[in-house]
């Protein structure tokens, strides 16, 4: 008979998410989100947290009752609180969660063109503020073939329509105001690269935060690969999506760190289900110690990022 430890009591608590939300709000206030006019980004982060909870609930990402997916998401987002300075990062993060919410509803249904359209409409919206997100689209199509099992001629066309729909409105606005160069400039930005591995603009805070989130991603990935037989086939397929997108995001960050803020927000979305699964479904003495260690280190980095700021982010 398994023995529940403090880790499991916290993971299965119904008040875990409300308390985490209060904690997140308090840290935002301490960081000066209102004083620095970051209230809109804070609201978007709150919406993203609720959507992560819905992503967990609607797809049963954890086989027991647990709010650890959304709690882990908010805990890591608060740790990387300097991302609030980037409205682009918070918007892309929200769109990425909306993408998963819609795409997962198309699982094993090649005729679910509506959900595919909505999923790629979210990516199209994200591309308005971060055109480089289009580099993920071929990977998304591959995952639709092998993991979502919803790729067909209709769903392919639906994905293309979803991607270009935001530009029907935005393009019309720029054309009406004769700002043709703005449209051209937006799409040519996708071809702009800086030197590979150029970390001159990356601060120590950003390095520490990325390294810790990447470590949590690794822990969650190894755990899920080892214990994947305990989950349903559908759940395995969805987690494989998180793993694949997370790996691609980390490679993107390492190669082109000038997009650090936006890519880190995407990495947090993919890491939250993995580390949440680890916390909620393990119950050994070692994993209980690991859980408390993860919490303490995350709190320490949060303190480091809030009260020991570098000169620039």
Cα distance between residue 56 and residue 116, in whole Å? 19
Tens of pLDDT along the chain (313 residues)? 457 889 999 999 999 999 999 999 999 988 888 788 899 999 999 999 999 999 999 999 999 999 999 999 999 999 999 999 999 999 999 999 999 999 999 999 888 999 999 999 999 999 999 999 999 999 999 999 999 999 999 999 999 999 999 998 887 777 776 776 777 788 888 887 777 888 888 999 999 999 999 999 999 999 999 999 999 999 999 999 999 999 999 999 999 999 999 999 999 999 999 999 999 999 999 999 999 999 999 999 999 999 876 544 4
Q: What is the pLDDT of residue 173?
A: 72
Cα distance between residue 50 and residue 48, in whole Å? 5
Q: What is the pLDDT of residue 189?
A: 85
Cα distance between residue 82 and residue 97, in whole Å? 20
| Nearest-10 Cα torsion for 249, 251, 254, 260 | -10
Secondary structure of residue 66 in the 3-state scheme: coil
What's the start-to-end Cα distance of the chain, in Å? 50
Secondary structure of residue 24 in the 3-state scheme: helix
Rg (the chain; Cα; Å): 20
Secondary structure of residue 310 in the 3-state scheme: coil
Q: How far is CA 303 from the centre of its chain?
A: 22
Cα distance between residue 177 and residue 274, in whole Å? 46
Q: How many C-beta atoms surround the C-beta of residue 312 within 10 A?
A: 9
Tokens at 253, concatenated? 């960050």
pTM above 0.85, yes or no: yes
Q: 41, 3, 10: which is closest to 294 by C-alpha?
A: 10
Q: Are 292 and 9 in contact (CB under 8 A)?
A: no
Burial class (CB in 10 A: 0-12, 13-18, 19+), 164: middle
Burial class (CB in 10 A: 0-12, 13-18, 19+), 38: buried
Tokens at 134, concatenated? 């289009």
Q: What is the pLDDT of residue 303?
A: 94
Q: How far is CA 99 from the centre of its chain?
A: 10
DSSP-derived secondary structure for 235-264: HHHHHHHHHHHHHHHHHHHHH-GGGHHHHH
DSSP-derived secondary structure for 100-151: HHHHGGGTT-TT-HHHHHHHHHHHHHHHHH-GGGGGGHHHHHHHIIIII---
Secondary structure of residue 305 in the 3-state scheme: helix
Cα distance between residue 253 and residue 202, in whole Å? 11
Q: What is the pLDDT of residue 185?
A: 82
Tokens at 160, concatenated? 């293309």
Q: How many C-beta atoms surround the C-beta of residue 193 within 10 A?
A: 11
């Amino acid at each position: 008979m398994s023995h529940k430890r403090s880790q499991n009591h916290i993971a299965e608590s119904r008040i875990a998410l409300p308390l985490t939300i209060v904690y997140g709000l308090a840290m935002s206030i301490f960081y000066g989100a209102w004083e620095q006019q970051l209230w809109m980004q804070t609201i978007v982060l709150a919406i993203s947290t609720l959507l992560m909870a819905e992503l967990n609930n609607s797809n049963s990402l954890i086989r027991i009752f647990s709010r650890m997916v959304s709690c882990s998401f908010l805990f890591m987002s608060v740790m990387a609180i300097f991302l609030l300075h980037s409205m682009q990062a918070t918007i892309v993060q929200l769109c990425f969660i909306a993408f998963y919410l819609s795409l997962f509803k198309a699982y094993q249904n090649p005729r679910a063109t509506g959900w595919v359209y909505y999923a790629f409409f979210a990516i199209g919206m994200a591309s308005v503020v971060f055109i480089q997100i289009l580099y993920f689209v071929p990977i998304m199509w591959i995952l639709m073939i092998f993991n979502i099992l919803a790729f067909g001629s209709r769903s392919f066309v639906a994905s293309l329509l979803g991607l270009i729909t935001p530009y029907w409105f935005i393009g019309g606005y720029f054309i009406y105001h004769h700002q043709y160069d703005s449209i051209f400039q937006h799409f040519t930005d996708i071809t702009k690269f800086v030197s590979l591995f150029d970390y001159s603009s990356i601060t120590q805070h950003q390095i520490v935060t990325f390294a810790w989130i990447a470590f949590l991603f690794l822990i969650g990935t190894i755990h899920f690969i080892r214990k994947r037989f305990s989950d349903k086939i559908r759940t395995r397929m969805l987690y494989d999506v998180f793993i694949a997108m997370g790996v691609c995001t980390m490679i993107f960050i390492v190669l082109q760190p000038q997009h650090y803020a936006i890519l880190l927000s995407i990495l947090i979305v993919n890491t939250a289900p993995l580390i949440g699964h680890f916390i909620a479904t393990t119950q050994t003495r070692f994993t209980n110690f690991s859980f408390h260690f993860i919490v303490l280190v995350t709190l320490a980095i949060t303190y480091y990022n809030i009260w020991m700021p570098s000169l620039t982010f």
